[in-house]
Amino acid sequence: MPAKPKILVTSASGKTGLQVALQLRAKAYPVRAFIRQRDYRSDLLERAGAELFVGDQYSLSDMRNALKGVQRAYQCAPTAPNGLHFNAIFTVAAYEAKIEHVVTLSQWLSSVDHPSLFTREVYLSDILIGMRPEMSVTTVNVGWFAENYLMVLGMAAHLGQFTMPLGDGGVKKNAAPSNEDIARVAVGALTDPAHHAGKTYRPTGPMLLSPIEIADAMGRALGRRVRYVDISERMMVKALKALRPANYSEAAVTQLAIYSEEYRRGTFAVNAPTEDVFQVSGHAPEAFESIVRRKVAEQPDLERNMSGSLNAIGNFLKILTMRPFDLDRAQAQRDYVRLSSPSYCQDDAAWSERHQPTARKTASIRVA
C-alpha cells in the first residue's frame, strides 16, 4: 500500500487549523503543523503525532521550509490586515514546492468591491491560489462561525443575556457551522482530492436560526433563561475590548462590525442551510445547542454561581465605562485601502449571480 501523502496545515493552532490537523492525524495522515509558538494547543498536536513547525507564516523562507516534502496543504490565512500577504507567500511557496492539492479557507462574503478590506483580500487570494493549473484546489466558503456567538457566552451564563448587533431577533439569519464541521469538510477534500478538486463547499449548521432561537439554545445548554439583546456595533466593540483584552484586535473588530451589517442584511441566510458537511464527510452537521453544550463542559467558569454573577456585573460596568471607539477613524488611521463606492454582497450583481439559491432538500439534512 502506498504511503499516505504528508499534509501541511497552516494556522494549525487556530480555530479550524487545529481541528483539521487533529482529524487528519485520527485518519493516520502524516501532518506538519505550522504554528507560531508552543502552547497547550501545540501540546495537543504533538500528542496526536503531528510534526510541529514553529515559524513565521509571513516569511517566505519559513513557508518554503515548511512545504519541503509535503504533497498537500490546508491554507488558512490569519484574521489580520496582512492576510493577502500571507496568501501570496503561501502561493509562491506552494508553486515552488509543486504541491499537488490545496484546500483553502475562503469566505461566503468574498467579493470584489466589498466594504471590508479583509474580504477584498480573500477575493484576490482565491484568484491567486487558482492560477497554477498543475495544482488542484478545493475552496471552503464559510460564513458566520458558531464560534462567534460563543464570545459572549459568559454574559449569557451569568446575566442571562445574549448581546450582539444582529438586528431583529425573530428573523432567521444564519445556520452557523462548528469549527469541527468546517474541518470535516476540509479533511474530506484533503484526503480525497480526486473527488473534490475544483469544487467549492459551504459548510453550515443543520438549520437557520434567529437570534432569539440562538439565545434559547444557549439557555437550554446553560440551564437558565437567556434573552437576546440587540446592541450597537460600537457597544460590541467596547465589550470585546473590555472583556477580551488578550485577544482584542482593533483590526479584526473593525471588520467584524462590517460583517455584522451583512448579518442584519440577511447575507448569511442566502442559500442556507446546505448539505455539504454530510455529503463530504458523512457526518451530520452539529446543532448549535450541542456546540454550546461542548463549550460549557470545557469551561467550568460558566457554571452559574454568586461569584460568577458578581464578576459578570463588574464586567458589564467595565463595558459601560469604556471609552467609545470610532470604527471609521480606526480604519483611516491604519491607512486601509478604502473604496469610494463599496458594495455589500447582495447589492453586488456579480456576487448575487455566483450565489444563486439552489433547491434545498432540508428534510434530508441530518442533525448531530
pLDDT in tens, the chain (368 residues): 568 999 999 999 999 999 999 999 999 999 999 999 999 999 999 999 999 999 999 999 999 999 999 999 999 988 777 889 999 999 999 999 999 999 999 999 999 999 998 999 999 999 999 998 899 999 999 999 999 999 889 889 988 999 999 999 999 999 999 999 999 999 999 999 999 999 999 999 999 999 999 999 999 999 999 999 999 887 777 766 666 544 556 667 778 888 999 999 999 999 999 999 999 999 999 999 999 999 999 988 877 776 666 676 666 666 656 666 666 666 666 556 678 899 999 999 999 998 876 533 433 344 55
Residue 73 lies in a domain: yes
Cell of 82: 496582512
| Structural domain count of the chain | 1
For the sheet containing 72-75, what is the strand order? 51-54, 31-35, 7-9, 72-75, 101-107, 136-142, 200-201
For residue 174, what are the CA distances in angstroms to 149, 151, 205, 212, 263? 11, 16, 8, 12, 8
* Distance, CA of 128 to CA of 106 (rounded, Å): 12
Residue 232 lies in a domain: no
Cell of 195: 473527488
Nearest to 286 by CA among 198, 188, 206: 206
Residue 304 lies in a domain: no
Q: What is the DSSP string of 104-125?
A: EEEETT--TT-S-HHHHHHHHH
| Angle at alpha carbon of residue 262, lines to 320 and 174, rounded to 5° | 95
Provide the CA 335 distance to its chain's centre, in angstroms: 25
Residue 15 lies in a domain: yes
Residue 312 lies in a domain: no
Nearest to 35 by CA among 23, 22, 45, 24: 45
* Distance, CA of 239 to CA of 358 (rounded, Å): 38
Which CATH number characterizes residue 39's domain? 3.40.50.720
Residue 279 lies in a domain: no
Tell me which residue range forms the domain holding 29. 7-134
Residue 114 lies in a domain: yes
Residue 36 lies in a domain: yes
CB 129 within 8 A of CB 102: yes
* Distance, CA of 34 to CA of 248 (rounded, Å): 23
* Distance, CA of 351 to CA of 17 (rounded, Å): 27
